[in-house]
Amino acid sequence: MHITLAPFVAAIILAILDTYKSFRGDKSSFGILGYISIFIGHLLFVRSFLINDFTLKEVFLYSSKYLDLAYKFSASWAGSGGFIVWWLFIFTILTSLRRLKSPDSKMTYHNLMIIGLIVAAILNGAFERLNFSPENGLGLNPLLKTFWMLFHPPACFIGYALGFLIAIEVLLGRENRFLIGLTWIFLTLANVLGGVWSYFTLGWGGYWAWDPVETGLLLPWLSLTACFHNPKLRRNLILLTGFSVAFAAFVTRGGISPLHGFGINTSGYAIILLGIPFLVKALKDWHFDFKVNPLNVATYSLIGSYIVCFLGLIYQFFGKVSVDYYNFANMPFILALLSVLPICGAKDYGNYLKLLVLTYISSIVLTALTVFGYITWCEDAPIYVNYAVSLILPVAFFSLLSILKLQRIELKILHVSISLLVIAVSISWPYAYYSNYKSIYVDDSAYIDDLHIQIVSKEFKMGVEESFEIVKLRVNGKDVECRVRLDLNWLFRSGNFIFPDPAVVNIWLDNYYIVIPRAMDLFMFTCKYLYERNETYTLMMVSHVTGLNYETLIEEVKNWKPKEGVMLVYKKIPFINLVWIACALMIFGEIIALARWAK
């Protein structure tokens, strides 16, 4: 084991001593000393990445000496063990603040959770030491070399730490509305930033694919959102959130996600054990209340979606689950939630029922028109997806317009944001997920629908670990940039070495999503660069991995000249900017609610 483990072992011993003193009713400073040990251990762990200590296995696997400092820092949470170390660090900060605020409080549950997280980090390889001293590391996955890597994972482990904290508070018979709201904000941020990262970095034009990690992270958000709507079940749902946090981490590190296999570990299952006590307590004390009122309908709608997602994830450990399962199994619960949102917290229902009946009649009529071919929302999407859009949109608009009757401003903003989000996703998601790319070759300039595209410049750059093709475009007078990255290290590791960075052109609420689909010029530029520097061995490796004949490759490299123009593929995604606006409104509404509770 690496020397960075030592402070964490000390922290376990100190947590045990602190718990023993607490049972005896004696005051103890062991807890504070344990927190200090964790802070020191965390500092040493992160320092290993910054100073290129490749004897620590996590540094070797996820960093390299040529990485930018910001990426070296973010590499410290790229691996399974490193993520848990950061989760532990944030939880320890929160626990220490809780202890300072209430010095006489027993911290037994907090200590046990700290011990559990340290053990989980050990089992997930956070402190493994290599028996040799590598000159360099394998480097960070190219998909993680992005601005969003600095924000999405921190939002996750801060949300996870807060989720554990509020669940422990419930076990101790306490509730802190401010902490609950803060947890919800970070879980919302984590989900939203994950979608933003997927959309702006992965180059596929989508923001949500019901990937297991996305779905797992949605679970604690659903349970915590439900807790705001039902005072009788609030504590049970907070405990369920504590379990869901552990389950989400388990899914992330369990290796079932095709998009998130960056830092999995076979010991990822150990994390779920931390959440089992919360689940047992939540189910044991569950109070069933099936009275038909708006808050109950909203609560059980969210719980229904939770069950759909949870069952889908469980099945996904054994087989593939279609996105249609998640979309259509969740639809009845989304419709129920939209139907009661206008009167959740309202004192006067007015003519709500009459309007709701008219709305569902409108939904049926609109769906019938879609069935008979008079309305098509997205031609590339399956016909049943178009039926679903027609069914849900009138209910979402009804919910949006009726919510304006609510009294409290934060409720208006939060409920409006949910309705807007459903409208935006209903219209944009079929295009983002199903719509086919169209291709166009731009020699000097070209037109895409109402867009006038001009090539301003095209250049190739060679970095230490990556090469780049950078195409600067002027679209309707606005400058945008399309890039493609080629990572030879990743070619030798996985065979996948081309990573497009899309250009996104905003037209009001819509986007044109533009990608360079092929990088043959970039590949030839990189090979020529290696050839001119006599990197024969590397070129032979490239020819072997790509299946190209070495002599033929060298001949083509000698004669290669870059093309003047560029091939682009694009698709239009309507209402995508409304998705981001709705998410921002959602967070803003809860910030207002937090400010009210802080007073």
Overall residue count recorded for the chain in this entry: 599
Instruction: Determine the Cα–Cα distance for residues 46 and 99; give it in Å rounded to an integer.
Output: 25
- Higher pLDDT: 202 or 268? It is 202
Q: In the beta sheet, which residues pair with residue 451?
A: 448
Residues 6+ apart with CB under 8 A from 19: 107, 108, 111, 112
pLDDT at residue 338 in the model = 95
Q: Which two tokens stand for residue 351?
A: 């003519």
Contact 180, 166 (CB under 8 A): yes
Contact 265, 249 (CB under 8 A): no
Instruction: Determine the Cα–Cα distance for residues 587 and 225; give it in Å rounded to an integer.
Output: 12
pLDDT at residue 152 in the model = 94
Residue-wise pLDDT for 156-211, tens only, equals 999 999 999 999 999 998 888 999 999 999 999 999 999 999 998 876 778 999 98
Query: Above 70 in pLDDT, residue 19?
Result: yes
Query: Above 80 in pLDDT, residue 215?
Result: yes
Instruction: Determine the Cα–Cα distance for residues 302 and 310; give it in Å rounded to an integer.
Output: 12
Query: Above 80 in pLDDT, residue 419?
Result: yes
Least reliable range by pLDDT among 32-41, 180-189, 235-244, 550-559: 550-559
The sheet carrying 445-448 orders its strands as 445-448, 451-462, 466-475, 478-487, 498-501
Instruction: Determine the Cα–Cα distance for residues 23 and 500; give it in Å rounded to an integer.
Output: 58
Confidence band, pLDDT 50/70/90 cuts, at residue 589: very high
pLDDT at residue 268 in the model = 66
pLDDT at residue 205 in the model = 78
Question: What is the 8-class DSSP label of residue 270?
Answer: G
| Percent of residues, the chain, with pLDDT higher than 70 | 95
Tell how far CA 353 is from the center of its chain: 38
State the average pLDDT for the chain.
90
Q: In the beta sheet, which residues pair with residue 498?
A: 486
What is the signed CA dihedral for 126, 127, 132, 135, rounded to 10 degrees?
60
Instruction: Determine the Cα–Cα distance for residues 200 and 197; give it in Å rounded to an integer.
Output: 5
Contact 37, 7 (CB under 8 A): yes
Question: What is the 8-class DSSP label of residue 77?
Answer: T
Q: Which two tokens stand for residue 347?
A: 């004192």
Residues 6+ apart with CB under 8 A from 383: none
Residue-wise pLDDT for 368-402, tens only, equals 999 999 999 999 999 999 999 999 999 999 998 86
Query: What is the domain partition of the chain in residue ranges?
Result: 1-140, 143-321, 344-437, 444-564
Residue-wise pLDDT for 59-91, tens only, equals 999 999 989 999 999 999 999 899 999 999 999
The region that residue 240 occupies, defined by phi over 0 for left and psi between -120 and 50 for alpha, beta otherwise, is alpha
Confidence band, pLDDT 50/70/90 cuts, at residue 497: confident
Q: Which long-range contacts (CB under 8 A, 24 or more apart) does 224-229 make?
A: 224/163, 224/180, 224/183, 224/184, 224/187, 225/184, 225/302, 226/298, 226/299, 226/302, 226/303, 226/306, 227/180, 228/184, 229/295, 229/298, 229/299, 229/302, 229/344
The alpha carbon dihedral of 129, 132, 135, 137 has a sign of negative
Query: Above 70 in pLDDT, residue 263?
Result: no
Confidence band, pLDDT 50/70/90 cuts, at residue 259: low
User: Where does 473-565 have alpha helices with state H?
Assistant: 488-494, 520-532, 536-546, 550-559
Residues 6+ apart with CB under 8 A from 546: 491
Q: Which two tokens stand for residue 368?
A: 């019938």
Q: Which residue has the tokens 């049970």?
A: 236
Confidence band, pLDDT 50/70/90 cuts, at residue 345: low
**Stretch 352-358: mean pLDDT, rounded?**
90
Residues 6+ apart with CB under 8 A from 322: none
Helical pair 294-316 and 323-340, crossing angle rounded to 10 deg:
170
